[in-house]
Amino acid sequence: MTDAAEHAPEANRRRRRLWLTGLGAVVVVAAVVYGLYWLLYARHFVGTDDAYVSGDIVAITSREAGTVVALHADNTQSVRRGQLLVELDPVKADVAMRAAEAELARSIRAVRGKFSKVSELRAQLAAARVNLAQAKSDYSRRGEAGNAVSHEELAHARDAVTAAAASVQATESALGEALASVQGTSVATNPDVLAAIAALRQASIVQAHMRLRAPVAGVVAQRTVQLGQQIAPGTPLMAVVPLDAVWVDANFKEGQLRDMRVGQPVTVTADLYGGGVTYHGRIVGLGAGSGSAFALLPPQNASGNWIKIVQRAPVRIALDPKELRDHPLRLGFSVDVSADVRDTSGSTAGSTVPFREMRGNLDDDGAAEADKVIARILAQNGA
């Protein structure tokens, strides 16, 4: 019993040394593995959880004053490009359109009258020139007759020449005045008719503006307009958010931007889906400055006490459209971003990707309908 009791502490010490040695070996191996992992892989990645989903918010506003008579979309509703959203009372616009059509018809008839007047004056000028030639011939014959013609008859012949010449001059002046309003044009291209056509197009545009359509496809948000509301031009009515074209704005610390370049690959995970869904994207641009530089009241570090604060700069990340369609994101949602900064061949100055031009469906200005109306009125009035 005494020998066993004496050897027990020694055995415990050996086991403890063995256990500590094994633990130390595990720690050393783990440190070596982590060192190699960091040296060969991890140090080439920078990440942040200060990142949020951003996107375009397309405002729906009226370009004309009017009263809302119908609503065709509400918050959370998906709409397609060109879909009718809001209708305004079209009564005044319709009346203005009818008045513009009548004014165009009147202008066409008035210009046709001017062309007819030119033709009439040309005929009168030809007749006046014939009369002048005849008067000159009569006066010449009487002058050659000598004493066979009385002085009174000769004076009447001379007066007839003068009157005929004056008639020619007056007709030429009237013809020049008539030609000034129609020369070089046709009925359809006359300035008076063109002005009436422009007025009709303007009326058609106002009439088309009574129906507000979605300029892009997306989801309706921030609807504030109500049925029966009297709105002024520029009043915000609702917004359409194209969720298939959102991006991520990640705010990296300034020290993390050292090796960051445009075009580098990025992986993104959203709090909405957790780690089960990973988005793949690329850096498309680095911000021109930190948020504090563009603040309403920028810091004045040259005065008073100063404490250094690490700044962050926004980095824009474009996401894979297919992945967005499969797992949609919403504006403002939080995401985690990890950027692979191994490839440093890209630009650091800013975005090298051409701007994704957005063109709204604002071409529904009644142009096609106006062209049909104009062609019909021109044909009906003989233009």
pLDDT tens digit string along 248-300?
A: 999 999 888 888 899 899 999 999 998 889 999 999 988 888 888 888 887 77
Nearest to 265 by CA among 344, 331, 321: 344
What are residue 160's phi and psi, to 5 degrees?
A: -65, -35
% of the chain residues with pLDDT over 70:
86
Predicted confidence at residue 57, as pLDDT, reads 93
Question: How confident is the model at residue 344, as a pLDDT?
Answer: 83
| Number of CB atoms found within 10 A of residue 163's CB | 13
Q: pTM of whole model > 0.85?
A: no
Fill in the amino acid letter for 4: A
Task: Name the token pair of 101.
Answer: 């059509």
What DSSP state is assigned to residue 291? G
Confidence at 354, pLDDT banded by 50, 70, 90: low
* Residue 86 contacts residue 77 (beta carbons within 8 Å): no
Whether the per-residue pLDDT at 3 is higher than 80: the answer is no
The whole-chain average pLDDT of the chain stands at: 84
**Tokens matching residue 129:** 């020139």
Radius of gyration of the chain (CA): 44
- Map out the domains of the chain with their CATH numbers: 92-206+367-380 (1.10.287)
Return the closest-CA partner of residue 223 out of 210, 239, 211, 242. Answer: 239
Q: Is the pLDDT of residue 15 over 80?
A: no
